[in-house]
């Protein structure tokens, strides 16, 4: 069975189990200090619900590790509803200091089929009028990062930093196609980065690459190497910063299916630490390490003595971009053995999934 057929089959089952929620129930917001372009700074995060990621809804079945489609409305969300939700979420904050606004749409903000133009214009106009909003960050697949779309956004917030985050996941086209089922190649990504680079003389526009640590069918050792190499590749292509996403097991994904069968484990926190240390030494652009799911049954795991401590240390290091060299725990030996000798979970051939 091909990866897209498998993704589709698993996705179809997951979509049947979705409990209907209103766009308001699907929205969320929180805030904390995060790394901004001027250092540690106040950041507001918002989830704005849309019909869902076009790639996940297409024949492709979506990416093998992502279940955001289950958190989407699956029905078009009107501009007026999106604007109302945005205003409600934004109204919960004082905005009395320079603030970055991160808007997550569980898909592509720049795809007008997911996020209607009218809502984009109204929301960016509002943000443009707020002096303390210094940065606006959105996410998009590279195929929607066209000159026309980026120019449209930049012209609405000409004085703000505008960052477009793209899920590159890996610099290896084979991994991205057959293990992540991402549906684009390096050329597509580079084209999008070039669009952003081409507008830098006129606007403060930036690119960010998300890098997945440990796709399915990848050994611990290979996962570390691939993540480190991907950060270097992103820097070389002119990406402004990278954000690592160590795998967590989302429900209703190919990754979950393999995990349930004992064929996949999220990365160890030690591996995450190794990636962080190597990248912060070898790559000059800022790198953020996502710590969601750390220490949980479905997330990166070391041992119960060090999971939480390391999570806090990594979160702090994101703010000052430091390396973490002197952390010790007895569980490190086990990880060292596994990364030295273990070459499990690696498939040398195109993925075939036996039906049982
Ligand atoms: S990772 Fe991004 S592109 Fe892939 S299915 Fe999820 S939202 Fe869509
Ligand atoms: Zn430990």
Among the atoms of ligand 1, which is closest to the Cα of residue 65? 1
Among the atoms of ligand 1, which is closest to the Cα of residue 169? 1
pTM score, two decimals? 0.94
Buried b (16+ CB within 10 A) or exposed e, 267-304: bbbbbbbbbbbbbbeebebbbbbbbebbbeeebbbbbe
How many angstroms separate the CA atoms of 196 and 192, rounded? 7
Catalogue all structural domains in the chain, each as residue range(s) with its CATH number: 3-341 (3.20.20)
Q: Which ligand is nearest to the CA of 306?
A: 2
Exposed, middle or buried by CB within 10 Å (0-12, 13-18, 19+), for 201?
A: exposed
Ligand 2 centre and the CA of 272: distance in Å?
13
Q: Whose CA is closest to atom 7 on ligand 1?
A: 107
Phi-psi map region of 268: left, alpha, beta (phi>0 left; psi -120 to 50 alpha): beta
- What pLDDT is recorded for position 11? 86
Ligand 1 pocket, mutate which of 47, 57, 62 (most atoms under 8 A from CB): 62
Q: Which ligand is nearest to the CA of 63?
A: 1
| Contact present, 342 and 220 (Cβ < 8 Å) | yes
Ligand 2 centre and the CA of 269: distance in Å?
9
Exposed, middle or buried by CB within 10 Å (0-12, 13-18, 19+), for 353?
A: middle
| Contact present, 133 and 158 (Cβ < 8 Å) | no
Residues 6+ apart with CB under 8 A from 350: 178
Q: Which ligand is nearest to the CA of 303?
A: 2
Ligand 2 centre and the CA of 317: distance in Å?
19
Ligand 1 centre and the CA of 197: distance in Å?
23
How many angstroms separate the CA atoms of 307 and 298, rounded? 13
- What pLDDT is recorded for position 348? 38
Ligand 1 centre and the CA of 22: distance in Å?
21
Ligand 1 centre and the CA of 63: distance in Å?
6
Residues with C-beta atoms within 5 A of ion ligand 2 = 302-303, 305-306, 329, 331
CA-based max dimension of the chain? 59
Q: Which ligand is nearest to the CA of 307?
A: 2
Q: Whose CA is closest to atom 6 on ligand 1?
A: 66
What is the pLDDT tens value at each position of the chain, 356 positions in all? 688 888 888 888 888 887 888 999 999 999 999 999 999 999 999 999 999 999 999 988 999 999 998 888 888 999 999 999 999 999 999 999 999 999 999 999 999 999 999 999 999 999 999 999 999 999 999 999 999 999 999 999 999 999 999 999 999 999 999 999 999 999 999 999 999 999 999 999 999 999 999 999 999 999 999 999 999 999 999 999 999 999 999 999 999 999 999 999 999 999 999 999 999 999 999 999 999 999 999 999 999 999 999 999 999 999 999 999 989 999 999 999 988 876 654 543 344 444 43
The CA distances from residue 303 to 152, 250, 292, 294, 332, in Å, are 48, 21, 16, 11, 9
Pocket of ligand 1, beta carbon within 6 A: 53, 55-56, 62-63, 66, 68, 106-107, 141, 167
- What pLDDT is recorded for position 349? 38
Ligand 2 centre and the CA of 334: distance in Å?
10
Q: Whose CA is closest to atom 4 on ligand 1?
A: 63
- What pLDDT is recorded for position 72? 87
- What pLDDT is recorded for position 344? 53
């Amino acid at each position: 069975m091909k990866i897209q057929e498998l993704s589709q089959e698993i996705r179809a089952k997951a979509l049947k189990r979705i409990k209907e929620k209103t766009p308001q129930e699907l929205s969320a917001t929180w805030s904390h200090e995060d790394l901004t372009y001027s250092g540690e700074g106040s950041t507001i995060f918002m989830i704005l619900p849309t019909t869902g990621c076009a790639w996940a809804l297409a024949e492709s079945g979506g990416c093998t590790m992502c279940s955001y489609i289950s958190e989407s409305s699956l029905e078009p969300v009107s501009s007026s509803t999106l604007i109302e939700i945005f205003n409600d979420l934004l109204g919960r904050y004082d905005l009395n200091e320079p603030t970055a606004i991160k808007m997550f749409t569980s898909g592509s903000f720049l795809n007008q089929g997911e996020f209607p133009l009218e809502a984009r214009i109204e929301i960016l106009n509002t943000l443009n009028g707020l002096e303390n909003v210094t940065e606006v960050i959105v996410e998009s697949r590279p195929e929607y990062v066209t000159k026309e779309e980026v120019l449209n956004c930049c012209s609405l917030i000409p004085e703000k930093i505008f960052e477009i985050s793209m899920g590159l996941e890996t610099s290896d086209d084979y991994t991205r196609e057959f293990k992540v089922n991402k549906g684009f190649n390096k050329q597509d990504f580079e084209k999008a980065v070039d669009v952003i680079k081409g507008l830098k003389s006129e606007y403060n526009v930036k690119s960010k690459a998300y890098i997945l640590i440990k796709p399915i069918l990848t050994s611990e050792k290979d996962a570390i190497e691939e993540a480190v190499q991907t950060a270097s590749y992103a820097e070389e292509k002119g990406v402004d910063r990278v954000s690592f996403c160590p795998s967590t097991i989302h429900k209703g994904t190919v990754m979950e299916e393999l995990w349930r069968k004992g064929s996949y484990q999220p990365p160890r926190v030690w591996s995450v630490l190794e990636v962080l240390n190597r990248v912060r030494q070898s790559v000059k652009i800022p790198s953020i390490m996502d710590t969601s799911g750390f220490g949980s049954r479905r997330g990166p795991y070391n041992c119960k003595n060090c999971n939480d401590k390391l999570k806090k240390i990594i979160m702090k290091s994101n703010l000052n971009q430091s390396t973490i060299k002197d952390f010790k725990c007895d569980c490190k030996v086990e990880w060292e053995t596994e990364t030295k000798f273990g070459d499990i979970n690696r498939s040398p051939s195109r993925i075939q999934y036996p039906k049982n």
